[in-house]
Chains A and B, each alone.
Chain A
Amino acid sequence: GDSVTQMEGPVTLSEEAFLTINCTYTATGYPSLFWYVQYPGEGLQLLLKATKADDKGSNKGFEATYRKETTSFHLEKGSVQVSDSAVYFCALSLNTGGFKTIFGAGTRLFVKA
C-alpha cells in the first residue's frame, strides 16, 4: 500500500550545522509531496511542497527535491538555528480521485546553541 518512511529521531545538531532528514515513499500513481513542521504545542503547518518529479520546494532556507527515480523527498537546510527545533513530517497526497494524504511518523529535531 501507499506509505511514507522517514528517518527516526531525535536528531540533535549544533547551531549552523547542516541538516538532512530522509524521506522515502511508496505510492501507486503520481503523488504530491510535502514537508510539514510542528512547533511545540501547535498544529502542523506546511513548510514546502512539490507536485511533480524534479520539482524543488523551498521555504525559510529549507529545500527538498522530488526524486521519482529514488522515490525520495529529503529535507535539507544549510545552517540550522535554535528556532528550527520542531517535529518535521513528510507526507504524500494522491490526486487521482478520492482522498488520501499519508503522513510519515515525524522526526524530532533539537538544535543546540
Chain B
Amino acid sequence: DAGITQSPRHKVTETGTPVTLRCHQTENHRYMYWYRQDPGHGLRLIHYSYGVKDTDKGEVSDGYSVSRSKTEDFLLTLESATSSQTSVYFCAISDRTSGEADTQYFGPGTRLTVL
C-alpha cells in the first residue's frame, strides 16, 4: 500500500471557522491532489500540486486554498467553513510520467462536518 496518511480522520466544526486538513506521503511522489466526495458526484478535484510550491486549481476550488512547502506534505485549508463544505475529503498522489497511465493512490479520507 502507498504510504499516505490524512489528518484528522474526522472533524466537526462550526460555520465560519478555519479548518486545515493535512496529507502526508512517504512515497516521494511529485503529484498530490485533494478531492471531495459527495453522493451522486463521484470525486471532484479541488486543487492539485505538481511540485513544491507549485499548485493549481481544480473544478471546485472556490472557498479552498492549498500549500505545499515540502514534497511529502500537502495542506488543504478552508478559510471560513460553510455547511456546503461538509464532505469526505481524499488526498491522492501519483508519480505521473509523460506517456504513461496516471494511476492515483488514495489516502483513507477525512470526514468533515460543518455545523
Count contacts between A and B, CB distance < 8 Å: 54
Is B101 in contact with A89, judged by CB distance below 8 angstroms? no
The binding surface of chain A is classed by DSSP as strand
Per the 8 Å Cβ criterion, residues 1-54 of A in contact with B are 4, 32, 34, 41-46, 49, 51
Given the complex, which residues of A lie within 8 Å of B104, measured CB to CB? 44, 46, 101
Which positions 73-104 of chain A face chain B at CB distance < 8 Å? 89, 93, 95, 99, 101, 103-104
Q: Are A106 and B42 in contact (CB under 8 A)?
A: yes
Instruction: Tell me which of A43, A49, A93, A104 contacts B106 (CB under 8 A).
Output: A43
Tell which of B56, B101, B105, B106 touches A95, judged by Cβ atoms closer than 8 Å. B101
Chain A residues with Cβ below 8 Å from B106 are: 43-45
Asked if B99 and A95 sit within 8 Å, CB to CB, the answer is yes
Contact A44 B48 (CB under 8 A): no
CB pair A95–B108 under 8 Å, yes or no, is no
Give chain B's interface residues, CB within 8 Å of chain A. 4, 31, 40-45, 48, 50, 56, 90, 92, 96, 98-109
Contact residues of A with B, CB < 8 Å?
Answer: 4, 32, 34, 41-46, 49, 51, 89, 93, 95, 99, 101, 103-106
